[in-house]
Amino acid sequence: MDTAATPTNRALSPTGDPFLLTPGPLTTSPTVKQAMLHDLGSRDKRFIAINARVRARLVDIIHGGEDYACVPLQGSGTFSVEAMIGTFVPRDGKLLVLVNGAYGTRIVKMCAYYGRACVAEETPENIPCDPEAVDRRLAADPAITHVVVVHCETTSGVLNPIAEIGAVVARHGRRYLIDSMSAFGALEVDARAITFDAVVASSNKCLEGAPGMGFCIARKSALAECQGNAPSLSLDLHDQWAAMEKTGQWRFTPPVHCILAFDQAIEEFLAEGGVSGRGGRYRANCKLLVDGLRAMGFETLLDDAIQAPIIVTVKMPADPRFDFPAFYDRLSATGYVIYPGKLTVAESFRIGCIGRLGATEMNGALAAIRETLAELGVTNCAPG
Ligand SMILES: *Cc1c(COP(=O)(O)O)cnc(C)c1O
């Protein structure tokens, strides 16, 4: 570790690593990391049982009952988003992508790679997707077969109304896909209340496992229709599902350590009270952060009503002494890693509320921010 740049008041996690106030990879508990200290073969009975338990518990989180199946997949979250698009949208289908940030834009790009017909309904990055616009689009274009939405658009942290949009999609008799990557586990995705064919998320982010795998929870009857759709073998969720149902095994080398960590992470998620407990801690983190930043004069991008408790976008102060690279480096050296902005609507940076972090870490980060501002000589944090 870079000791020369390390202030004496450096905050450390139990493993000596900095706290990650980022949207992933993020800080995990020591016990989640310890769960990875085993080598199990892909055909090992213990591994197969753990894999089955992880899959079953993920279905339980959405109250999926017998109608839904969980199909895990190697890779980062994007692999699972791409697998969902390729598997569920048939070759003669047409996808409406609701775009209000980089992750929606990425789905449009996937459709170009796959040669899937696609139209985008765009909203500015600081505004939620609009169910009425979806209604108008679907009424005007009967060729649209599927609609996909990003639950929390991590670009800004904006919360999209997945239930309201789902109701519109169902009313028009079209199919619904959800990228809940950065929200799953902290915000409710309830299969009893929303009709959808598939939702994707990953082992990292709000479930606080290690990064390295994603998963799709799909309505079995919809998934059963998807044989032959996927233009990619490794990203074919129907094939992955059929093989796993038959043998309990993954088709290709499973991310064993990642699954062991994920099993432990889900255990800790359930012990925390599931979605309400996990979401409650993140909401408390988010409130501490937003209140603390506003008290220093910073402005957040989003109104509180549309802010998901996942990641907060902060407008860049206009003061020329606020040198973002220096601010970022000084905070990292203090033990708090934040995230640069990725917005087109405003110069900004982002601070995450998710991962194994609580009030102590959020207050620690705020104290480090105050000290850093003093060092840089910044007295006014108002944006331009
Ligand atoms: C993190 C994230 C993804 C997946 O990103 P990876 O870097 O591939 O893990 C997809 N969608 C959203 C909304 C995300 O926040």
For the chain, which residues make up each domain, given as ranges? 19-23+274-376, 31-271
pLDDT digits (tens, 9 = 90+) for 176-212: 999 999 999 999 999 999 999 999 999 999 999 999 9
Residue 81 Cβ < 6 Å to ligand 1 = yes
Sheet (strand 311-315) strand order: 311-315, 348-352, 339-340
Give the distance (Å) from ligand 1 centre to CA of residue 180.
Answer: 9
Ligand 1 contact via 82 beta carbon (within 6 Å): no
Ligand 1: residue whose CA is nearest its atom 3: 77
Cis amide linkage into residue 25, ω under 30° from 0: yes
pLDDT of residue 9: 63
Q: Does residue 181 have its Cβ closer than 6 Å to ligand 1?
A: yes
What is the tens place of the pLDDT at every residue in 78-111?
A: 999 999 999 999 999 999 999 999 999 999 999 9
Q: What is the pLDDT of residues 246-272, one digit of tens each?
A: 999 999 999 999 999 999 999 999 999
**In the CATH hierarchy, which fold is given to the domain comprising 31-271?**
Aspartate Aminotransferase; domain 2 (3.40.640)
Whether ligand 1 lies within 6 angstroms of the CB of 76 is answered as yes
Ligand 1 pocket: which of 26, 99, 181, 282 to mutate (most atoms within 8 A of CB): 181
- DSSP element (H, E) containing 122: strand 117-122
Ligand 1 binding pocket includes 145 (Cβ within 6 Å): no
Do 168 and 144 form a contact (C-beta atoms < 8 A)?
no
Q: Stretch 133-147: mean pLDDT, rounded?
A: 98
CATH number at 19-23+274-376: 3.90.1150.10
Contact 77, 200 (CB under 8 A): yes
Residue 340: pLDDT above 90?
no
